[in-house]
Amino acid sequence: MIFTVKKRDGREMPFNIEKISDAIIKAFRASGELSEQIKASQDQLDLLGHEDLLTSTALKVSAYAVGRLEAEGKNKPDIEEIQDAVEKALTECGYGVTAKSYILYRAERTRVREVNTRLMHTLRDITFSSAKESDLKRENANIDGDTAMGTMLKYGSESAKHFYTMMMLKPEHSRAHMEGDIHIHDLDFYSLTMTCCQIDLIKLFKNGFNTGHGHLREPKDIRSYAALAAIAIQSNQNDQHGGQSVPNFDYAMADGVRITYRKAYLSNMVKALMLFTGKDEEEILPLVKKLHAEMAEMGMVATLVPNEKFVEAEARELSKTYEIEMVMKSQKFAEKQAFEETDKATFQAMEAFVHNLNSMHSRAGAQTPFSSINYGMCTEPEAQLVMKNLLLTTEEGLGGGETAIFPIQIFRVKEGVNLNPGDPNYDLFKLACRVSAKRLFPNFSFQDAPYNLQYYKPGHPETEISYMGCRTRVIGNNYDPSREISYGRGNLSFTSINLPRIAIKMKSVDLFFKELDRMLQLVSDQLMERFAVQSKRKVKNFPFLMGQGVWIDSDKLGWEDTVGEVIKHGTLSIGFIGLAETLVMLTGKHHGESEASQELGLKIISHMREFCDKESKRLGLNFSLLATPAEGLSGRFVRMDKKKFGNIPGVTDRDYYTNSFHVPVYYKISAFKKLSLEAPYHALTNAGHISYVELDGDPSQNLEAFEKIVHHMAKVGIGYGSINHPVDRDPVCGFVGVIGDVCPRCGRSEGHAISLEKIEELRKKFPGMPAFRGIR
Amino acid sequence: MSEKEKSQYGEGVGFERIRRITGYLVGTIDRFNNAKRAEVNDRVKHGV
């Protein structure tokens, strides 16, 4: 006799035959097999009701199954054994159709259980392992997986991914994602929001804005301009899953400098007049203030680079009250003082801005906002002052001399503006190179690349090319060609294709393109599915992004309106990874090694771009091709492909697939050749791209070479590029530069200690040395 | 030996090594995921 059963978790429970018959009843209901028999029997006898017959039949089958178990001597059966017996009992009692539906039901339960178990395993991993051990916790390096909030964010993110793959995605999209044919990025935010946005600070600051907990007035000083810029980035970051960027940092901050200078000039003018005339403040201040206000109404204001119109008019008016000589002396003094004060205030503002962006938190405190700023082409003196000071504070580093991780700075390069000697912002370009050679930022974007230049209208900064730091680029607009601008727009979502897998599976070039087409269509459909979900969201779901009018045209919507129409200005992007491995698979060589491979590479990427353009036309939206950043994705596809197809030399034999269209990082090639080979792909990947080269040693010692590379980028048509070099730091003595095995400043090797005496000796030589923890 | 010579600082403290990850920085390499770490290890320098 059976008295106990063994549950899945190993516990023994009293046996209850009703549990078996309940499951069988469910199976009968699902198959509908018995209802036909019930109908037949009702016609004949009309004795038993539907439920009675169901129950009695189920009990009969259960008893049969139990009999089977007992005959096999299984007196303490486990769940699997019972289910096997039920399956057989159903078949042997003549209920074949129901047996089938029971098997399906069992399989479905197993699947749900496995998913739940996997989720539990994932959550356990998040809970009990440190980021050092858990790759999952380092998926996005910008999130500190060891902190409470980082862990909480990870719980939410992993659970949401499970939910969406099971409940919301179309099965074919879910399968393609789970099996690694494609990767749906930011799946945890699938139904919630869009990727990123270029925030027009000038528009946002006009009349102030609201962060949800109070109104912030229009800023009146460069320091508050910079502070509000950081707050705007932080607030918007909480409404989207990607990064935030400012397309017009130079233009926007210049407004703040103007106001600061005007105020500084006024107060210094008053001070000087007091000193030179001996009159007191009560007399002078109201007089000058009134005069400045009246002049402002006529369009005459004090400017960083003094303008004659203002200076002459001011002198003329003031000389009615004071001696002209005194007035002119006061003007000279005020100009000099105001400039110095404004310069200093601007430096402090930029310093605080960088510090803020590296210390403020978003997303439940788990993340530093992913921030980027674009600048470089505004030639007004106020903007030049902003850029100079921003670069200088970046060069200096954070409080302890650390390299600032945020914001990602993007210096916009253009001939005639800053690239060559004699250009108005050439000195800033030189400074940008010097700072980048030390601190890795700024990166460089290239306005003159033909595919960027085609949108540029002089005098319209909104048509200048802007990148998100990660590389995302939004400028063309098929939905509304009259709005081909970067301001207020961004990516909606993107999904990447596992290119190497297609090559591994198809082997021949012809078949490759066939399968690629199928994959492109699948991704396009998936992006549209997600777009439909995103479109139903309302303004109130994005209190800052939409509620404060940051996103293009969202200021025309009400709180309860859906955002479907305005987000059509955004892009739906198809990404890819591993062109190099794909080419090795198809031709035996990657594009760094062979011209024929480069030709095929360009053919593949052109083909993908043409598909995007075709979809844009067909659907009236903005489909674009992305050279995916793939931080988290770099290892995922290759891990799966290695398992599936084994170790294929040059294809699956490393722990990562080569980023986008890059020439493999391990391949020896000159910087110039690498950039020349990669540049044509920039023209094709209209959703974003980046190329970088690795320099040996400390490029600060060879700025000429550094600048030569940037010039080469401009020449060959790179859209967005940067130069990598090692930036090391010894936290004990604060040295920043290249550190081999031994710190060049204090002479200690990794992990070793130095004496307090040595530290104090060094501090005499390097007074700026940060205080290492524990040293008084 | 004086007190200052005796008190030692920096035992077990490593060097911070910042590298560009994909277009942006993320702090020191120990924050990189396994794949990205492998990639950084493989990176060769490009001659000018």
C-alpha to C-alpha distance for A663 and A652, rounded to whole angstroms: 16
With b for 16 or more beta-carbon neighbours within 10 A and e for fewer, the A261-282 pattern comes to bbbbbbbbbbbbbbebbeeeee
Model confidence pLDDT, tens digit, residues A732-769 = 998 988 999 999 999 999 999 999 889 889 989 988 78
**Could you give the maximum distance between any two Cα atoms of chain A, in Å?**
124
Task: Search chain B and give the residue with CA nearest A662.
Answer: B22
* Terminal Cα-to-Cα distance of chain B (whole angstroms): 51
Q: A408–B5: do the CB atoms touch at under 8 Å? A: no
The chain B residue lying nearest A709, using CA atoms, is: B48
User: Domain A169-195+472-689 falls in which CATH fold?
Assistant: Anaerobic Ribonucleotide-triphosphate Reductase Large Chain (3.20.70)
Q: Which pLDDT band holds residue A43 (cuts at 50, 70, 90)?
A: low
What pLDDT is attached to residue A364?
A: 67
Phi then psi for residue A364, to 5 deg, are 60, 25
Whole-number Cα distances in Å, A615 to A305, A388, A515, A606, A612: 51, 44, 17, 14, 5
Q: Which of B7, B23, B35 sits opposite A634 (nearest CB)?
A: B35
Of A132, A142, A753, the CB nearest to B26: A142
Residues of A in contact with B3 (CB under 8 A): 756
Distance from C-alpha of B42 to C-alpha of B48, rounded to nearest angstrom: 19
A759 lies within 8 A of chain B by CB: yes
Task: Name the amino acid, one letter, at B27.
Answer: G
DSSP secondary structure code for residue A167 in this structure: I
Q: How far is CA A348 from CA A226, A262, A374, A384, A393, in A?
A: 10, 18, 20, 15, 9
pLDDT in tens, A414-458: 999 999 999 999 999 999 999 999 999 999 999 999 999 999 999
CA distance from start to end of chain A: 78
Alpha carbons A437 and A564: distance in angstroms, whole number = 44
Mutate to test the interface with A, among B24, B30, B39, B43 (most CBs of A within 10 A): B24
Nearest-neighbour CA in chain B from A592: distance (Å): 13
* CA pair distance A758, A218, nearest whole angstrom: 51
| Chain B residues touching residue A743 (CB < 8 angstroms) | 15
Q: Of A150 and A566, which is predicted with more confidence?
A: A566
In angstroms, what separates the C-alpha of B39 from chain A's closest C-alpha?
7
Q: Which residue of B has its CA nearest to A743?
A: B15
Looking at residue A253, its pLDDT comes to: 98
| β-bridge mates for residue A245, sequence order | A198, A372
Confidence grade of residue A281 (pLDDT, cut at 50, 70, 90): very high
Residue A402 carries which DSSP code? P
* Strand A571-577, strand A491-498: pairing: parallel
pLDDT of amino acid B20 = 87
The answer to whether the CB of A397 falls within 8 A of the CB of A438 is no
Longest dimension (CA), chain B: 51
Average pLDDT over every residue of A638-648: 97
Residue in chain B lying closest to A776 (CA) = B9
Confidence bin at A483 (pLDDT 50/70/90): very high
Q: What is the 3-state secondary structure (H, E, C) of A583-596?
A: HHHHHCCCCCCCHH
Residue B3 has pLDDT above 80, yes or no: no
Separation of alpha carbons A371 and B46, rounded Å: 29
Q: What's the pTM value of the predicted model, to 2 decimals?
A: 0.87
Q: Is B23 on the interface with A (CB under 8 A)?
A: yes
Q: β-strand A623-626 against A571-577: which pairing, if any?
A: parallel
Mean pLDDT, rounded, for A190-208: 95
CA proximity to A242, closest of A188, A183, A167? A188
DSSP tally for chain B: helices H, then strands E: 2, 3
Best of A673, A701, A707, A727 to disrupt the B interface (most B CBs within 10 Å) is A727
Residue range(s) of every CATH 3.20.70.20 domain in chain A: 169-195+472-689
Answer yes or no: is pLDDT of A137 > 80.
Answer: no
pLDDT confidence of residue A149: 85
Contact B13 A760 (CB under 8 A): no
Give me the total of CB pairs closer than 8 Å, taking one residue from chain A and one from chain B: 175
- Does A213 have pLDDT greater than 80? no
Exposure class string for A136-163: b at 16+ Cβ within 10 A, else e: bbbbbbbbbbeeeebbebbeebbebbbb
- So where are chain B's domains? 16-48
Q: Do the Cβ atoms of A593 and A667 come closer than 8 Å? A: yes
Across the interface, do B48 and A709 touch by the CB < 8 Å criterion?
A: yes
CB contact under 8 A, A667 and B44: yes
pLDDT in tens, A296-350: 999 999 999 999 999 999 999 999 999 999 999 999 999 999 999 999 999 999 9
Per residue, the 3-state secondary structure of A626-661, as one string, reads ECCCCCCHHHHHHHHHHHHHCCCCCCCCCCCCCCCC
* Inter-axis angle of helices A509-535 and A595-619, nearest 10: 30
**Inter-chain CB proximity A731 and B30 less than 8 Å:** no
8 Å CB contact of B4 and A696? no
- Cα→Cα distances A88→A29, A94, A103, A405, Å: 18, 10, 10, 64
Task: Measure in Å the smallest separation between the Cα of B1 and chain A Cα atoms.
Answer: 11
User: Is the Cβ of A641 closer than 8 Å to some Cβ of chain B?
Assistant: no
Contact A732 B24 (CB under 8 A): no
Do the chains contact at A440 and B32, CB–CB below 8 Å? no
Q: pLDDT averaged over chain A? A: 93
- Chain A contact for B24 (CB, 8 A cutoff): yes
Write out pLDDT tens, residues A583-594.
Answer: 999 999 999 999
Interface contact A671-B47, CB threshold 8 A:
yes
In chain B, which residue's Cα lies nearest the Cα of A688?
A: B23
Q: Which of A469, A632, A655 sits opposite B24 (nearest CB)?
A: A469
pLDDT at B30: 83
Residue A657 and residue B22: Cα distance in Å, rounded? 13
DSSP H helical ranges for A497-594? 499-506, 509-535, 579-587
Mutation for A interface: B9, B11, B28, B32, most A CBs within 10 A: B9
**Candidates B4, B36, B38; nearest CB to A757:** B4
A668 touches chain B (CB under 8 A): yes
Minimal Cα distance from B48: which residue of A? Answer: A671
Selecting from A690, A726, A732 the residue whose C-beta is nearest the C-beta of B9 gives: A732
d(CA A1, CA A288): 106
- Positive/negative CA dihedral, A146, A149, A155, A158: negative
Reply yes or no on whether the pLDDT at A772 is more than 80. no
